[in-house]
Amino acid sequence: MDKNKSNKKPEKEDHQESRRDFLKASSILTAIAVAPATVAKAAEYNLGEKISAAFETTPVNLTINGAKKQLAVEPRSTLLDVLREQLNLTGTKKGCDYGQCGACTVHVNGQRVLSCLSLVVMQEGKEVTTIEGIAKGDELHPMQKAFIKHDGFQCGYCTPGQIMSGIACINEGHAETKEDIKEFMSGNICRCGAYPNIVKAIQEVKNGGQKS
């Protein structure tokens, strides 16, 4: 790009100018979009002779919902994808895959975290609890009951994340007031808009003195 270009041109001209520059940078009429250079470089590195080694899986030992698991995973596999695709624990949801919605919330060693941004290899020796692991047999967790009672959901897709987050929110001591709950639950997006009912459910469990 032309580094000496003035910023003071009228908007429209500027617009066209920068467009031309971009086109110039990408060889006039043909814009070449390739895999980003970072990826291409890394791919080259990985795909050469080291190919077999690079794609070997790594063993990981962890506990999921109380059961010890020995898994063989690629280092790049996220906890979310392994739960859903390898272990068929599909209660944990993928809503964005970038840590922006909270649908994938699980507890790791009792803390709420986002499984979409957690690499499984980094969970060695840890205890993971998912939505499938909080009821005691047929007896629902108080938070699950409260969600049903207060209709804290519609489509149900964000619900497991909201419930896991809600339980942790109380345990953390961030459910003292309604405003606190709203702030500390803001990492769990509900597009159906069940928020007020979710808050009611959390308040009820909080006031009932329930802990996970």
Partner 1 sequence: MPLAWYSPQPERQEIMNEAFFDKKEYKPLDRVDGRLKVTGAAKYSAEYPLPNMAFAVLVGSRIAKGTIKSIDSKAAERAPGVLAVISHLNAIKVPGYQPKGEHPSEPSTNGQPLRVFFDNKIVSNDQPIVAVVATSLEKAQFGASLVKIQYTKEQHKTDLEANAGDAKLAASAKKNPKSPTADYERGQKDAFESAPVKFEAEYVLPTEVHNPMELQSIIAHWEADNKLTVYDKVQGTKMTQKNFAKEWNIPEENVKCIATFVGGAFGNGLHNWPHETAAIIAAKQVKRPVKLVLTREQMFTMVGYRPRTWQKIQVGATKEGKLVAINHQSIGQTSSYEEFTESTLMQTRMMYASPSVSTRYRILPLNLATPIWMRGPGEATGAFALESAMDEVAHAIGMDPIDFRLANYTESDPDKNMPWSTKYMRECYEEGKKRIGWENRKLKPGEVRDGEWLVGYGMGTGTFGANRNSATVHAELDKEGNLVMHCAITDIGPGTGTAMVQIASNTTGIPTDKITFHLGNSEFPNAGLQGGSSTVNSVGPAVLAACNALKEQLITMAAAKGNSAFTSAKPDDLMFDKSELQLAGKSAKTTLADLFKQNNIEKIETTNESKPDENRNKYSMNAFSMHFAMVHVHPFTGQVRVKKIVCCADAGTIVSPKTAESQMIGGATGGIGMALTEDAVMDHRFGRYVTKDLGDYHVPVHADVPDIDVYFVNKPDLLADPVGSKGLGEIAIIGVAPAIANAVFNATGKRVRELPITPDKLI
Partner 2 sequence: MIQFQYERASTAQAAVNALTNNSNAKIIAGGTNLVDLMKRNVMAPNKLIDINALPLREIRQQDGKISIGAMALNSQVADDKLIMEKHPLLSQALNAGASAQIRNMASVGGNIMQRTRCHYFYDTALPCNKREPGSGCGALEGMNRMHAVFGTSEQCIAVHPSDMCIALVALDATVLVAGPKGERRIPFEEFHRLPGNQPEKDNTLQNNEMILSVEIPDNAFSKNSHYMKIRDRASYAFALVSVAAALNIDGKVIKEARLAMGGVAHKPWRLKEAEKALVGKPATEETFRQAAEIAMQGAKAYKHNAFKLKLGPNVIVEALKNAAGLV
CB of 117: closest distance to partner 1 in angstroms?
12
By CB under 8 A, name the binding residues for partner 2: 1, 3, 5, 7, 11, 14-15, 18, 21-22, 25, 33, 35-39, 41-43, 45-46, 54-55, 58, 74-76, 78, 97-99, 102, 105, 111-114, 117-119, 121-122, 165, 168-169, 172-174, 182-188
Q: Are 106 and 92 in contact (CB under 8 A)?
A: yes
What are the structure tokens assigned to 137, written together?
Answer: 């047999």
Amino acid at 91: G
CB of 14: closest distance to partner 2 in angstroms?
6
Q: Which does 45 bind (CB under 5 to 8 A by kind): partner 2, partner 1, none?
A: partner 2
Cβ proximity to partner 2, 69 vs 182, nearer residue: 182
Cβ proximity to partner 2, 149 vs 172, nearer residue: 172
Residues 152 and 198: their CA atoms lie apart, in Å, by 4
Residue from 65, 82, 93, 64 nearest 118 by CA:
82
* DSSP letter assigned to residue 90: T
CB of 147: closest distance to partner 2 in angstroms?
18
CB of 31: closest distance to partner 1 in angstroms?
5
Whole-number Cα distances in Å, 203 to 15, 105, 186, 197? 52, 20, 15, 10
